[in-house]
Amino acid sequence: MSRHPASASTPASTPASRQPLLHRLPLPELIAFEAAARLGGFAAAAGELALSQSAVSHRVRQLEAKLGVALFERRGRRVSLSAAGARHAAAVAAQLAALRQQATTLRTAEGERLRIEVAPLFGSRWLLPRLATFRRQHPRLVLEVAPAPLAEADLMIHPETNPRADGVPLQPLRIGAYAAPALAERCSVLLAAGRLTDLPLIHAHGLNWERWLRGALGTGLTPPGGLEVDDPIAAMEAALAGAGALLAPALAAEPLVAQGRLCAIHPWQQEAGQYHGRLSAAGRHKPAAAALLAWLQEQP
């Protein structure tokens, strides 16, 4: 009977017991074991790793099966490290600590990038002037700021009336009516007299003059047409140029009022929720993103 040699392009499969050890020790199992060893049980490890207790137990058993060694002694629901487990835990903890330190060193050397998705007026008038201070404290950070939608954002800042549980309140959102100084007195007189047909208005996207007039004057008035601007920053520039009265967030307009570039044409401000910051799933793994959000929460 003739024998045909095996093709060199299709090597015979290698039994699991003869595969390289690294292939049989996946990182998730080592991380679960290290956490359970350090914290003294599967339940505590599950809490730290955001896994179920059964998932942690399963990963540890997989590791034990691949090593052929019992790493924990199990007595009912209680577990404790075996002698071999204690030795292995010390070695694994040291290696994971070295990996984390290396990752931190690389990130620091290359400069970490944070991507921030923010409402345009809040970003241009409130956030950007403050980020300069944060950047001086963290000179290696690269900050990318853009309006929504921003792919793979680490931190998102938007106005919300019904905030999510993971949102952090930053600033209240109050809507006021403003105009350039040369137009402000006329607008105030017309507004007080209810002569809306003569009132030059700028309609910015997302800001409702009818709702604001109802709150300010207590009556249902239909605002006249006017200049419609989709971009809130462009709408603000139009108001500064004297094109009409504008509804705008007070935190964006009040600095311009203090500079004498805008005037409030009515004292009433509409309470419209709060700006909230929220970390994305990617942002929650970046300490710098959490540090930035905490720092922003402390800013006036």
The string of DSSP codes covering 241-257 is TTS-EEEEEHHHHHHHH
Task: Tell whether 184 and 224 lie within a shared domain.
Answer: yes
- How far is the C-alpha of 47 from the C-alpha of 150, rounded, in Å? 31
The 10 Å Cβ neighbour count of residue 240 is: 15
Q: How many residues does the chain have?
A: 300
Q: Tokens for 113?
A: 């990038």
CATH number of the structural domain spanning residue 75: 1.10.10.10
Is 11 part of a structural domain of the chain? no
Is 6 part of a structural domain of the chain? no
Is 78 part of a structural domain of the chain? yes
Is 2 part of a structural domain of the chain? no
Task: Tell whether 265 and 177 lie within a shared domain.
Answer: yes
- How far is the C-alpha of 136 from the C-alpha of 217, rounded, in Å? 46
- How far is the C-alpha of 27 from the C-alpha of 63, rounded, in Å? 10
Look at residues 214, 115, 215 and name the one whose alpha carbon lies nearest to residue 156: 115
| Residue 263 pLDDT greater than 90, yes or no | yes
Question: Tell me: the pLDDT tens digits for 94-148?
Answer: 988 888 777 666 655 445 889 999 999 999 999 999 999 999 988 888 899 998 8
244 near 182, Cβ under 8 Å?
A: no
Show the domain range for 232. Answer: 172-271
Task: Tell whether 208 and 227 lie within a shared domain.
Answer: yes
Task: Tell whether 100 and 176 lie within a shared domain.
Answer: no
User: C-alpha 150: how far from its chain's center?
Assistant: 11
DSSP 8-state symbol, 192: H
CATH number of the structural domain spanning residue 165: 3.40.190.10
Task: Tell whether 45 and 183 lie within a shared domain.
Answer: no
CA-based torsion, 27, 28, 29, 34: positive or negative: positive
| Domain stops at, among 88, 109, 130 | 109
- How far is the C-alpha of 119 from the C-alpha of 127, rounded, in Å? 10
Query: Which helix or strand (DSSP H or E) is residue 279 part of?
Result: strand 270-279
DSSP 8-state symbol, 77: T
With 0.95 as the threshold, say if the pTM is over it: no
pLDDT value, residue 108: 53
- Find the range with the poorest average confidence among 104-108, 189-193, 207-211, 280-284: 104-108
Torsion, Cα 86 89 94 100, to 10 degrees, reads -160
Task: Tell whether 142 and 197 lie within a shared domain.
Answer: no
Task: Tell whether 219 and 254 lie within a shared domain.
Answer: yes
pLDDT value, residue 2: 43
Task: Tell whether 255 and 177 lie within a shared domain.
Answer: yes
Domain count across the chain:
3
Is 38 part of a structural domain of the chain? yes
228 near 154, Cβ under 8 Å?
A: no
| Residue 207 pLDDT greater than 80, yes or no | yes
Task: Tell whether 184 and 267 lie within a shared domain.
Answer: yes
Task: Tell whether 188 and 217 lie within a shared domain.
Answer: yes
| Residue 170 pLDDT greater than 90, yes or no | yes
Task: Tell whether 23 and 89 lie within a shared domain.
Answer: yes
